[in-house]
Amino acid sequence: MRKKFVAGNWKMFTTAASARELAKAVAAGVGKDDRVQVAVCPPFPYLTVVANVIAGSAVQLGAQNLYPAKEGAFTGEVSPTMLVDAGCRYVILGHSERRHKLGETDAFINQKVHAALAAGLSVILCVGETLEERRQDHTETVLATQLRGGLAGLTGEVSPRLVVAYEPVWAIGTGQNASADQAQQAHAFIRRQIAQQFGEEPARSLPIQYGGSVKPDNAALLMHEPDVDGALVGGASLQAQQFLAIVEAALS
């Protein structure tokens, strides 16, 4: 039985003070209850702030990105080893905002995936189609391409440290979200694709999150679907009460 996994992507929000208070509220709400896997992913400057606050709770720390090198002359970038040193267990890679606003390719994302895994991090790999791609019935083609490209050169041995997040681009920050049926169809396709790449057992055990305007009022319906194993939460993760309600929905 796959454990539900709810992760909060704080994106480019919070200050040191508000990050501390948000993390404190989430950690207090989750406590040591590990029935749902929970992670928060603050901006780089506040990783250690949040790490100190959530220490001793069941909440894990994640980062929103990395650069695929251990160290070097890469001004402004953050390495996988730095993230591990800051206390991170997870890193989000391939988020649609980085693909579509910053031009990241599947090949570059694949380099990041390899670097993250080599450093001991677990990867939340984001995949998803735009509205135009969905309208043209290209959803499965896009998902297959992003999965093959992002996971190229890997074997099923890495599956225990891999999470896939399906995030329909048209539902991120728009207030829209995929219906439960649309989410299930995409998640089931992703699981079949993983089975083709890595085998049936890695596919069965792979957590697949839904990301795209997840809120307390739709979370339970989405996560009730058999292949929806949690949520990658954006805006609602910035309000502790809303985020904890989504975690609670995962229990139902």
The residues carrying an active-site annotation are: 95, 167
Instruction: Please name which of 6, 37, 1, 8 lies closest in space to residue 226, comparing C-alpha atoms.
Output: 1
Identify whether the C-beta of residue 181 lies closer than 8 Å to the C-beta of residue 218: no
Q: Hey, which residues does 168 pair with through a beta bridge? A: none
Instruction: Please name which of 32, 29, 87, 90 lies closest in space to residue 57, comparing C-alpha atoms.
Output: 32
Q: Cβ of 102: how many Cβ atoms within 10 Å?
A: 10
Category of 57 on φ-ψ map: left (φ > 0), alpha (ψ -120 to 50) or beta: beta
